[in-house]
Copies of this chain bind each other. A is one copy, B any other.
Amino acid sequence: MKIVILGCGRVGSTLATMLDHAGHTVSVIDFSSEAFQRLSPDFGGETIPGNGVDEEVLIRAGIKEADAFAAVTNGDNRNIMASQIAKEIFKVNKVVCRIYDPIREETYRELGMETICPTKVGAQMFFDALLCSRKALHATRLLMTN
């Protein structure tokens, strides 16, 4: 699969490396060239310095041929805008967007965007870890998945 990732922070660089090692064709965009140093030294994908809400930059990253797109910068607005461009303009089949703000995450999810909210996931994981046994944690995750 050809996958474009916007944002080469902690999660973006880890994700890019995982996908590259799994045999996918990966391009990573970040406005800071220094961010690419977070990638594994054996990362075989492409790195594109630039603004991910700029269509020219997305095209340079291969968005036109991409099967999937992930927006994982630290800015909710940037992730939302880039995901909408990937979905609506470039018709990317699979688009997943990180939104830290739980309220906005719910809104955009209801509008049909595939979203991941680290705030909700994180709080729920700590809630389970603090209160539950391993068995109960297992059950909670099952419920969350269904």
Residues of A within 8 A of B (CB): 1, 3, 10-11, 14-15, 18-19, 22, 68, 70, 72, 94, 96, 98, 100, 102, 114, 116, 118-127, 129-131, 137-138, 141-142, 145-146
Contacts and interface: CB of A to CB of B under 8 A. Distances in A.
Given A19-B131, A70-B126, A116-B129, 8 more contacts: A14-B102, A15-B126, A18-B123, A18-B124, A19-B127, A68-B130, A116-B126, A121-B125
Contacts of A19: 127, 130-131
22 contacts: A10-B119, A11-B122, A11-B123, A11-B126, A14-B102, A14-B123, A18-B127, A19-B127, A19-B130, A22-B127, A68-B130, A70-B126, A94-B130, A96-B129, A116-B122, A116-B125, A116-B126, A116-B129, A118-B118, A121-B125, A141-B141, A141-B142
Interface SS of A by simple majority? helix
A126 B72 contact: yes
| Chain B CB within 10 Å, residue with most, of A72, A96, A125, A130 | A130
